[in-house]
Amino acid sequence: MFNVVFVLGPPGSGKGTICSKIQENLGYVHLSAGDLLRAERERAGSQFGALIESHIKNGSIVPVEITCSLLENAMNLHKTANGFLVDGFPRNADNLSGWSRQMSGKVHEQFVLFLSCPVDICINRCLNRGEGRTDDNVDSLKKRVETYNNQTFPIIEHFGKLNMVREVDSERPVEEVYEDVDKVFEAANQK
Ligand SMILES: Nc1ncnc2c1ncn2[C@@H]1O[C@H](COP(=O)(O)OP(=O)(O)OP(=O)(O)O)[C@@H](O)[C@H]1O
Ligand SMILES: Nc1ccn([C@H]2C[C@H](O)[C@@H](COP(=O)(O)O)O2)c(=O)n1
Ligand SMILES: [Mg+2]
């Protein structure tokens, strides 16, 4: 059974940055749903490239069957990992129900790491990220934030009702954010 920590937060809240540090220090494998989708978009012969790009540009969410299969395939490549950081997933109700259908009995969901940060700061971070992402522009960011508010935040609230959310304020410098994240993992892994 794979241990899984879902990592959620607004676009630009620092999910990828913090996951890299957790991976480096705690042996969890970082799987970014967005990175997996971008890799699939670039893969020669993929039947999903155009569909994925249209969702990415519009800030909407790719059907779960595609994303969940990419995640499961990636997990199966790292069978001895301490656990997986599933970054940017589940992003909406379709993601959540599809994950349950495909993954129940195969994973243990430890908790949801929620990186909270004001949206104006997140948008500025994305606009200055400098990675050439096709969705780091004002139009796409407006849509991504709308999707986050209307579809992803309710998923965080859903997990909150199950007492699974561990919120860390990610407006602060990376080192300070990581200190608190490390404490969250320590507490979870003592149980
Ligand atoms: N705590 C922080 N303080 C200042 N800048 C940060 C912080 N965390 C991340 N950044 C910077 O903000 C940008 C976005 O960070 P990152 O890619 O980790 O966010 P993300 O949540 O994964 O975003 P997305 O959802 O768009 O993939 C990067 O340029 C990163 O270096
Ligand atoms: N569960 C997911 C995760 C990501 N996507 C698509 C749509 C997002 O705007 C884009 C970028 O994700 P990020 O790298 O910002 O986490 O990828 C999706 O459809 N479903
Ligand atoms: Mg990211």
154-188 residue pLDDT tens: 999 999 999 999 999 999 999 999 999 999 999 99
Whole-structure pTM value: 0.98
Closest ligand 1 atom to Cα of 11: 25
17 contacts 123 by C-beta, under 8 angstroms: no
Residues annotated within the binding site for a ribonucleoside 5'-phosphate are: 38, 60-62, 88-91, 133, 144
Distance CA 139, CA 56 (A): 12
Distance CA 3, CA 18 (A): 18
Q: What is the mean pLDDT of residues 139-149?
A: 97
Predicted local distance difference test score (pLDDT) of residue 82: 86
Distance CA 79, CA 81 (A): 6
Q: What kind of fold does domain 7-171 have according to CATH?
A: Rossmann fold (3.40.50)
Distance CA 68, CA 118 (A): 29
34-89 residue pLDDT tens: 999 999 999 999 999 999 999 999 999 999 999 999 999 999 999 989 899 999 99
In the chain, pLDDT over 90 holds for what percent of residues? 97
Q: CB within 6 Å of ligand 2 — which residues?
A: 11, 32-34, 37, 55-56, 59, 61-62, 67, 88-89, 91, 95, 135, 144
- Token reading at 152: 């992803």
Rounded to the nearest angstrom, the gap between the alpha carbon of residue 191 and the centroid of all alpha carbons in its chain is: 24
Q: Residue 1: pLDDT band by 50, 70, 90 thresholds? A: confident
Asked if this assembly's ipTM is beyond 0.90, the reply is: yes
- Ligand 1 binding pocket includes 59 (Cβ within 6 Å): no
Distance 70 CA to ligand 3 centre (A): 16
Burial 123-145 (b: 16+ CB within 10 A, else e): bebbeeeeeeeebbeeebbeebb
- Judged on CB neighbours under 10 Å (0-12, 13-18, 19+), 121 is middle
In the chain, pLDDT over 70 holds for what percent of residues? 99
User: Which residues of 73-135 form beta strands (DSSP E)?
Assistant: 83-87, 107-116
78-99 residue pLDDT tens: 998 989 999 999 999 999 999 9
Distance CA 100, CA 106 (A): 10
The residue whose CB lies within 8 Å of the most ligand 1 atoms, and thus the one to mutate among 6, 7, 8, 17, is 17
Closest ligand 2 atom to Cα of 140: 9
Backbone angles phi and psi of 69, in degrees to 5: -65, -40
